[in-house]
Amino acid sequence: MGAATAAAFLNSGHPTTVWNRTTAKADALVADGAVLAASPAEAAAASPLVIVCVPDYDASDAILLPIADSLKGRTLINLTADTPARSRTAAARAAEHGIDYLDGAIMPPTFTIGTPSAVVLYSGPEETYRAHAGTLAAVGGSHTHLGTEPGRAAGFDLALLNIFWTSLSGLTHAFALTEAEAIDAADFAPFALGIVGLLPESVTGMAGELERGEFPADGSSILSNVTTMDHIIHAAESRGMDPGPLRAVRPLAPAIVDAGHGGPTTSPPHPALPGQPVLTPLRHPRNVPHQLPGSGMPGSLPATGPAQRCEAGICPAHAAGRGPDGGSSPRTVLWYHLPHWSSCSVIESRLCPTSVSVYSTRGGTSR
């Protein structure tokens, strides 16, 4: 992205001095009229506006910290991708050295840089951004100042890329599943586009719900969708496939349900939100005796393996005076996800500390 950004400035007629850790990578820019500096300090001295774009803040720190004094009185725009916390640290360090600092993020793909399709985000002092907005327009497309808090551009960047990579992971897994089921990719693609087309409405809808603090199920509750998640996981595993992204998503559902948000709800349903249980890893013991519901026959849990547990709570069904085994007393339950028993969703503690019941909700039926 650094080379593409420098090329965009050259193409807009801005005198541009470049330096690269690998000198040969600057050859094409020099051929197009850039001046090659022998060092970062020499490059910084060539202009009141200094822009750095490298893979991460470890790299940018290694370049910038040794020349911090020579950057005093200049504007430094860091287009390096990293975390919001590191952006704030860099901004504070720049202020200590008398450097005007903006943090920025160029949204991929790289080939959009310098074209109307480019999207660039900035955060930091507004007056600094305004002073250089005309020059920054050379990068192309839309360039947006998101606010004075220096970590906002990085926050937007990572959250947007989170959408992209998790969605792409799901799409890749979907094509793998269809291939396993002998479904031609060309036949599947039009229907995949239909599902993907739901995302824009989901974005605006979720944003509105978060603003209002209300999360109605609208006929599609967490409880009703858990079964679908299980079907996908079972189908993948039956073909010898890793369940992919759903393996990370599925364990969140019991925590949401256990907190009372499995059906129509006006409370925050995501377990990472304040006041919600957070899943923590643990290991369950080998061969814990348990009673299978309705069978009257003892059994044993599988061998030790990773599990996921959330905070204890009251099973919604039991709180209503009934349970999967027909019991009438509310009981405290612990929700687990056992990877080798993908259909297990609940382990209910009994009065006897060595006896538990394992409930499976596979296919929507408690067993």
Per-residue model confidence (pLDDT) at position 58: 96
Q: What mean pLDDT is predicted for residues 41-68?
A: 97
Q: Provide mean pLDDT across the span 63-70.
A: 96
- How far, in whole angstroms, is CA 164 from its chain's centroid? 9
pTM of full prediction above 0.75: no
The per-residue pLDDT for 300 is 35
Q: What Å distances lie between residue 105 and 14, 59, 136, 311, CA to CA? A: 21, 16, 12, 38
Residues 258-270, mean pLDDT to the nearest whole number: 61
**β pairing state of 119-123 and 313-314:** unpaired
On whether the CB atoms of residues 52 and 75 are closer than 8 A, the answer is no
Q: Are 271 and 250 in contact (CB under 8 A)?
A: no
SS (H, E, C) 265-291: CCCCCCCCCCCCCCCEEEECCCCCEEE
The token duo for 153 is 């551009």
Distances (CA, A) of 99 to 19, 109, 205, 271: 20, 30, 41, 41
| CA Rg value for the chain | 27
Q: Quote the pLDDT of residue 245.
A: 86
Going by pLDDT thresholds of 50, 70 and 90, the confidence category of residue 264 is: low
Residue 247: per-residue pLDDT: 85
Give 240: exposed, middle or buried? Use CB within 10 Å, 0-12, 13-18, 19+. Answer: exposed
Element (H, E) at 61: helix 57-64
Confidence of residue 286 (pLDDT cuts 50, 70, 90): very low
State the pLDDT at residue 254.
Answer: 80
The model's confidence at residue 283, banded by pLDDT at 50, 70 and 90, is very low
* 234: CB partners within 8 A, 6+ apart: 342, 343, 362
Domain annotation for the chain: domains and CATH numbers: 2-156 (3.40.50.720), 212-367 (no CATH)
pLDDT of residue 18: 98
Question: What pLDDT, on the 0 to 100 scale, is given for residue 330?
Answer: 35
Report the distance separating Cα 224 and Cα 54, nearest Å: 46
Please report, for residues 112, 147, 157, the alpha-carbon distance to residue 120 in angstroms, rounded to integers and kept in the order given.
Answer: 10, 14, 9
In angstroms, the CA 122 to CA 325 distance is 57
Helices (H), 148-302: 152-180, 185-196, 199-212, 222-238, 245-249, 252-258
